[in-house]
Every structure is written in structure tokens, then in C-alpha cells.
Amino acid sequence: MMLELTGVHSGYGQIPILRDITLHVAEGEFVGILGDNGMGKTTLLMTIGGDLSTTQGRIGMEGRDITALPIHRRARLGLGHVKQGRRIFPQLTVRENMQAACLAGGQSLDRAEEMTALFPRLAPIAGRPGGVLSGGEQQILALARCLCAAPRLVMLDEPTEGIQPSIRDEIVEALLMLRDRLHLTMLLVEQDEAFLGALCTRRYYLEKGRLLA
Ligand SMILES: Nc1ncnc2c1ncn2[C@@H]1O[C@H](COP(=O)(O)OP(=O)(O)OP(=O)(O)O)[C@@H](O)[C@H]1O
């Protein structure tokens, strides 16, 4: 199994948010997590990624127990996380953002060019500072940048947040292309049910920190 959570609890300090989360993502699957504002979607991805610690339960990735591993070790095992808000370096160009991710992920700088070439919208703006890009362009850059570290499982936190419909469709196309070309597995968190419907084979609903059956 690419990812397996069993009875996971987590939260912020003394504040419990996620309760008894059990879910799995098989290799090659695109799985969606749907939930309204504040239901714990971001908390779930931060817990899987290692930004927040699991207070109870187990997180497994490809048969390994990653529950207690620090963020960088999970990343090195192939876990990619495109965080909410995109977190592009605003002063660095698109190309430099990509190259920085290659270095951080232990990949050659050539990979930045290869990943840029996958996205027709990025190549022409490779010399532009990240900070001047539109929201949609930043989202595509955030996704492309995550791929620089050669992940096998990519977690996306609300990729359509604040994005106009035309670019939303482009992101759907890009993700489908990545599924075919890079054989990625994806875990997507969204409020947009139609977006998940266009991409995901399976969905979970998160409500007040619990998954609904
Ligand atoms: N740093 C924090 N300290 C304490 N509580 C927090 C913190 N960050 C988030 N929370 C709380 O955790 C709960 C879940 O938040 P989370 O961000 O995971 O929701 P979400 O489903 O991703 O929502 P949204 O769609 O608005 O991003 C909310 O009640 C929120 O107030």
C-alpha cells in the first residue's frame, strides 16, 4: 500500500483535531478528501507530511512505519506535499524556484528543466520572479516544484483555492497528464466536489476531524 493510516489522532499542542483516522491510498490511485472549512483537511496532510506529530495511531508508507519520521525523511521516501498557499519564493524566478527544489530533493538541476517542460504555461515565464505570477501560475509552479524532488506520492492541499475556472481545468489536465507520464499517486484535499470528481477514483469525507464512512 502506498499510504496507510490506522487510528491516527493529531492536533495542535493540547488541542485535538483529528480523531481515529483510518484510510489508505493504493499505488497509482488518485484519492480525494472532501470537507468544508475547518474540518481538518490541512491538519490531515500536515500530519501525514510530518509537520504535526501523530499522538496515537500509525502512518505507513509502502510497508514502512513513518509515524515518527521527521519531514525530510518522509520526503526522501517519496512523499511530496504542495501546501496550502503555495509558498513560492517570491524573489526567486520560476527557474530558480524549480532549481532550489531539485537541490533540496537531492536531484540534478536538469530535472528542473524536464519538469518545467511538462507544463506549457511555465516554460515561457521561467525567468519571471515567483512573486509576480498569478494565483493559477503559482499553483502550477508549486506543483511542478514539488515534482523536482521526484516524489511517488503527492499530496495537494486545495489546489483550486482562489483560482479561476479556466486554470482550474488546466490543473485537472496537468494532473491527469502526470498520472499517465510519471505514474504518480495522489492524495488531494478540496472543497470543490466537481474538481475531485474529475480526478479521483475514490473519496473520503472529513467532518469535524473524523472521516465519514
Ligand atoms: N495552529 C493551530 N492551532 C490551533 N488550532 C488550529 C491551528 N491550525 C488550525 N487549527 C484548527 O484546526 C481545525 C482544522 O483546521 P484545518 O486547517 O485542518 O481545516 P481545513 O479543513 O483545512 O479548512 P480550510 O478548508 O479552511 O483550509 C480548525 O478548527 C482550526 O481552527
Q: What is the pLDDT along the chain (213 residues), one digit of tens a residue?
A: 999 999 999 999 889 999 999 999 999 999 999 999 999 999 999 999 999 999 999 999 999 999 999 999 999 999 999 998 778 999 999 999 999 999 999 999 999 999 999 898 999 999 999 999 988 899 999 999 999 999 999 999 998 888 888 888 888 988 998 888 888 999 999 998 989 998 999 999 999 999 996
- Answer yes or no: is the C-beta of 42 below 6 A from any ligand 1 atom: yes
- CATH number where 151 lies: 3.40.50.300
Q: How many other C-beta atoms can be found within 10 angstroms of the C-beta atom of residue 13?
A: 6
Q: Please determine, for the modelled complex, whether the ipTM score is greater than 0.90.
A: yes
DSSP category for residue 152:
S
Task: Give me the amino acid identity at 36.
Answer: D
Number of domains in the chain: 1
Length of the chain equals 213
Task: Give me the amino acid identity at 69.
Answer: L
Which of ligand 1's atoms lies nearest the C-alpha of 40? 18
Query: How far is the centre of ligand 1, averaged over its atoms, from the C-alpha of 37 (Å)?
Result: 8
Task: Give me the amino acid identity at 82.
Answer: V
- Answer yes or no: is the C-beta of 162 below 6 A from any ligand 1 atom: no
Query: Distance (Å, rounded) from C-alpha 191 to C-alpha 165?
Result: 14
Query: Distance (Å, rounded) from C-alpha 201 to C-alpha 53?
Result: 28
Query: Distance (Å, rounded) from C-alpha 82 to C-alpha 189?
Result: 10
Name the percent of the chain in helix, strand, coil, to the closest 5. Answer: 35, 30, 35
Query: How far is the centre of ligand 1, averaged over its atoms, from the C-alpha of 39 (Å)?
Result: 7
Its domain, for residue 122, covers 3-212
Query: Distance (Å, rounded) from C-alpha 122 to C-alpha 22?
Result: 37
